[in-house]
Amino acid sequence: MHCNWKGQGERFCHLICDDVIEDPIKNPAKVKVNTHFSPFIYQPDHLIVQELIAHNLVKGYTFTFPLVLISYKLRFFSHADGEKSEKELCECLATSQDQSTTDLFDKAAMPVQLLKIVKGQSETPLPSHLQKENLQQLEEGCDYTNKYIQGIVSLSYPLTKLGDGTDFFKIVLQDSDNLSSQINSIHVFIYGKMAEDCAKMIRHGETFIVAGFKVVKLPTAREDDRHGCNLEVSEEAGSAIYICTKPGTTTASETASVSVAPKYVYTPLNHLKDGTIVNLYGVVKFFKPPYISKGTDYCSVVTLVDPSNVKLTCSLFNGNLDSLPKIYKVGDIVRFHRIKIREYNGQMQGITSGGFASLTFDGTVGAPIVPRTSSRVYTFMDEEQKTVEELRIWAASNISISGPAAKLSGVQPMLFFDLTCQLVGKAKVDGSSFLLKVWDGTKCPYPTWKVPVEAKDLEGDKVFLHQLRNLAVDILVYDNHVQLAESLKIGSFLRIYSIHSKQASADNEDVSHIEFHLHGGTCYGRGIGVLPESNPDVKELKAFLESLDLTVGQNMESMCSMDVDSTFDNDTVLTDHQDLSNTELKTIKNSSAPRQYRIRAKLRTYKPQKLHQSVKLHCSKCNSLQEVPDRDDFDFILRGSAGTASNPELHNTSWYESVTWTTQDQKQREITIHFVKHDEMLQHPEDTLLMVEGGTLKEIWKLSKRFKCIIPVRSTEDDLKLLDLSAPFLLQRNVKYYGCKQCSAPKPVKNLSSLAAEQQPSWEPSEIAQVLGIELLQYVFIMKFTLVDETGALNAYLFDYEKFFQIPACEILTNNFLQEKMQMTMNTLCPPGRKLGDLPWLECFIKSYNVRDAMKNQVYYQIFDTTVAEDVV
């Protein structure tokens, strides 16, 4: 990340970041605060910043926040006076970007990576642990594991083989940063698979980055501009190569290059010819997950369609499971390179040929386009991204994707279904069958069979299996699936395709039970697939499993309740209108924004836990949020203004009477109070507005108890003026009212005379603010609620002035009774120490909305039109 703190005056600065990282939640920036700050945030949308400002930013505190925020420009106001330099105010510490890199490229499998360059910058950042090394400083024997050299490929030699058969590729790298330097090029020797990969991909003129190389000194000194060392690079040595390609640009040298990255041509499925080897794209209409064939290889059968509406069934073989396409569901999109086309039974058929390679993409419109592949090297450019997007859109209306994946809670007897689950136990049963114990966190509504196996044969955590005894189910797999089942690791996430749920009853049972079989054969795609943890369905399942409390599951069981949920059917939140039916959280998360939903969920947790931290100030004009200044801030400003003497010329006008006191203490301060009159007369104290010059915090507080309104002011030559807007411009009862520094344009205090002249001055804060040119900040509650239901979890923000808790946010900070009431409400909604299953159900409305910037779109959720029911309050 490249961040700059840009100062704009001495009291605040901007943190500006041009980068937008793929997944800012996973890649937070770390910022260390070097002085006391109250953050003020320019942000088109206020809700996503609440986590940031929930913290009390004090000196030395390091906080993290999503990079996406930084790109919106944050502004921090320093309470420290004087000329702090930008660096002193805040500094940007290291950021972690490894995650986003591994998302796009599996580093272990991808020693050579192609980085796409957009606007002169690589779209994918280099791993953050890599440090750039200068060509001039290379020395033999040093450790370059975490260093990289960057240069331009100025020359490459043909790929050759060494005596032992190892591939060998040699290039000359020119140091583009130091062209004038005497020594500005170095030879790079690349060995093995990397040599082969690089030879295919490298073009002259491209930027080449190599990390984890070895420096070998040349035997003799050089007289030309060549470096005295060579770089040696190989996969075995842990090297990594990054080749930066510029899509759409061709250089003159490219035509002269010895090895040019191939430009692929893709054949539509209606143009396939017998005996050809082609590249193609298709949408998966049917597939068999890889299984062990009767020959020597794994086999996967895949049927594709494309917008020509022609089908192609492909038989794909490979001895390495990883080399077959990683298809997880119908609707996935694949790109096959070098697939052989043959005619069989009057139809075209695809079959793997030498050099077959595949990429697989999630077929969901709008999902990130991240190829699943085992290839070490692949090309994937803008136009190919476009192809995937187009196919997704076509498939959305042309392929019937099987309905929502079955959960154990939704199984019916006598059907076949696919189950996404976690493996928790396994056991050999006999030669032709094998037992898998799995769970998905939901409970099968029917009694399920237990396959009898000897305890010693059962692999898996015994304690865990015992905990799951009412949730995990036995699946018996047969014949050809046994070998694959044996190799599965406990804890892994599986999708088991076409499980047969069979109703049966044993002689000694009154009621029938359900048996789960994965029969032999591969008909209808029957089989077992291992899903990686990066799979979105796995992420969701994992989050759900982690949210469960297993001891509760057993309590539920002991209650013999088939519908566990109804046991706790005591909704505690009423909603304003009932025009929506409930939507599951999973459905909401899978839908596009903006939309409105009614949900039924449990409040697993909320932030901030210290409820007073949930109160912020919001400007409805610029949509900014800020922390409520503390009393020290106000005191500081009052002390600052006390140095300004009251100007007697401004005393006693037509609309106010002025009185000055001198304090009895040693300091002998002057306090001036201007009593605003009505109809040329003083009012009762409880109806009177005062303007106060020179008071302390304590004095102003005391005055506010007795008088209706207090406006702290100071004298200038020609008028009374409001204090700095970090201080409240108005105090009324217990509430301090603040103005937005951005949006306010303070007007002369004498404008108040118009209000004073009204029939019965109400002294409404909003009216006072208006005549004084102040944009009134409103007190709001901002909280993050983590809501869960059977289908998943979702974070929703509460942004509320008064409605939700039926407590005005402006009063909470000064009213102990209201604070207790709010705490009790939260304790009712989310009782501390209670298990998830015991939490009450809440019904509320949430709306989804998009937060966009130039690079990405993120969906957020907000609670609206919801009020805590009377009996809870």
Partner DNA sequence: TTAGGATTTG
Nearer to DNA by Cβ, of 412 and 734: the residue is 412
CA 752 to chain centre: 49
∠ CA 864-867-870, nearest 5°, is 175
Q: Closer to DNA at the Cβ: 352 or 866?
A: 352
Strand 493-504 to 473-478 pairing: unpaired
Q: What angle do CA 804, 805, 811 make, to 5 degrees?
A: 120
Measured from the CB atom, is 391 or 826 closer to DNA? 391
- The residue among 106 and 479 lying less far from DNA, judged by its C-beta, is 479
Supply the minimum distance, in Å, between the C-beta of residue 285 and DNA: 5
524 or 661: whose CB is closer to DNA? 524
Q: In this complex, which beta carbon is closest to DNA, that of residue 332 or of residue 789?
A: 332
Closest CB 523 distance from DNA, rounded Å: 4
The encoded tokens of residue 141 equal 């024997």
In the complex with DNA, which residue's Cβ is closer, 288 or 326? 288
Instruction: Reduce the DSSP state of residue 70 to 3 states and report it.
Output: helix
Per DSSP, 545 falls in state: H
Rounded (10°) CA dihedral 67, 73, 78, 84: 90
Structure token digits, residue 607: 């932030």
Helix H or strand E segment including 50: helix 50-54
Rank residues 499 and 839 by Cβ distance to DNA and give the closer one.
Answer: 499
Residue ranges in contact with DNA by CB under 7 A = 285-286, 288, 293-297, 299, 301, 303, 311, 313, 315, 317, 342, 344, 349, 351-352, 416, 432-433, 478-479, 498, 500, 502, 517, 519-526
Q: In the complex, what is the shortest distance from the CB of residue 436 to DNA, in angstroms, rounded to a whole number?
A: 14
CB of 276 to DNA, least distance (A): 15
Question: Least Å distance between CB 400 and DNA?
Answer: 11
Helix axes 631-642, 697-706, angle to 10 degrees: 100
CB of 298 to DNA, least distance (A): 8
Q: Which is nearer to DNA, 344 or 661 (CB)?
A: 344
Q: Which amino acid, one-letter code, is at 225?
A: D
In the bound state with DNA, the residue whose beta carbon lies nearer, of 374 and 646, is 374
Q: Which is nearer to DNA, 327 or 671 (CB)?
A: 327
Nearer to DNA, 230 or 318 (CB): 318
Beta strands, E only, 595-741: 595-607, 615-618, 625-627, 656-662, 670-676, 689-693, 709-715, 720-722, 730-732, 735-737
Q: How far is the CB of 564 from DNA (least distance, A)?
A: 29
Closest approach of DNA to the CB of residue 314, in Å: 9
515, 476 Cβ separation under 8 angstroms = yes
Contacts of 759 (CB under 8 A, 6+ apart): none
Of 204, 201, 199, whose CA–CA distance to 161 is shortest? 199
Nearer CB in complex with DNA: 400/816: 400
Least Cβ distance, residue 438 to DNA (angstroms): 18
Shortest separation between residue 803's beta carbon and DNA, angstroms: 50
Q: Which residue, 276 or 850, is less far from DNA as judged by CB? A: 276
Q: Which is nearer to DNA, 291 or 805 (CB)?
A: 291
What is the token pair recorded at 658?
């002025």
Rounded least distance, CB 297 to DNA, Å: 3
Least Cβ distance, residue 323 to DNA (angstroms) = 12
Contact 836, 604 (CB under 8 A): yes
H/E run at residue 316: strand 311-318
> What's the rounded Cα separation, in Å, for the pair 435 and 425?
8
Nearer to DNA among residue 437 and residue 519 (C-beta): 519
Instruction: Report, in Å, the least distance between residue 287 CB and DNA.
Output: 9
CB of 274 to DNA, least distance (A): 11
Closer CB to DNA, residue 524 or residue 817? 524
Contact in structure between 155 and 188 (CB atoms under 8 Å) = no
Q: How far is the CB of 217 from DNA (least distance, A)?
A: 46
Buried b (16+ CB within 10 A) or exposed e, 740-775: bbebbeeeebeebbebbeeeebebebebbbebbebb
Question: What does the alpha-carbon distance between residue 152 and residue 179 come to, in Å, rounded to a whole number?
Answer: 11
Report cis status (omega within 30 of 0) of the bond before 608: yes
Long-range own/partner contacts, residues 744-751 (CB < 8 A, 24 or more apart): 744/773, 744/774, 744/775, 745/773, 746/721, 746/722, 746/772, 746/773, 746/774, 747/771, 747/772, 747/773, 748/719, 749/691, 749/711, 749/713, 749/719, 749/720, 749/721, 749/722, 750/653, 750/655, 750/719, 750/720
- Shortest Cβ distance from residue 507 to DNA (Å)? 15
Instruction: Quickly list DSSP for 99-134.
Output: HHHHHHS-TTT-SEEEEEEETTEESSPPPTT-EE--
Smallest distance, Å, CB 822 to DNA?
53
Nearer to DNA, 270 or 716 (CB): 270
8 Å CB contact between 440 and 538: no
DSSP state of 264: P
User: DSSP assignment, residue 563?
Assistant: S
* Sole residue written with tokens 């136009």: 383
Closest distance to DNA from the beta carbon of 445 (Å)? 20
- State the Cα–Cα distance between residues 645 and 521, nearest whole angstrom: 95
- Distance (Å, rounded) from C-alpha 631 to C-alpha 704? 15
The Cα 90–Cα 88 span in angstroms is 6
Length of the chain: 873
Let me know: does 449 contact 515? Beta carbons within 8 Å. Answer: yes
Q: Which two tokens stand for residue 196?
A: 């082969």
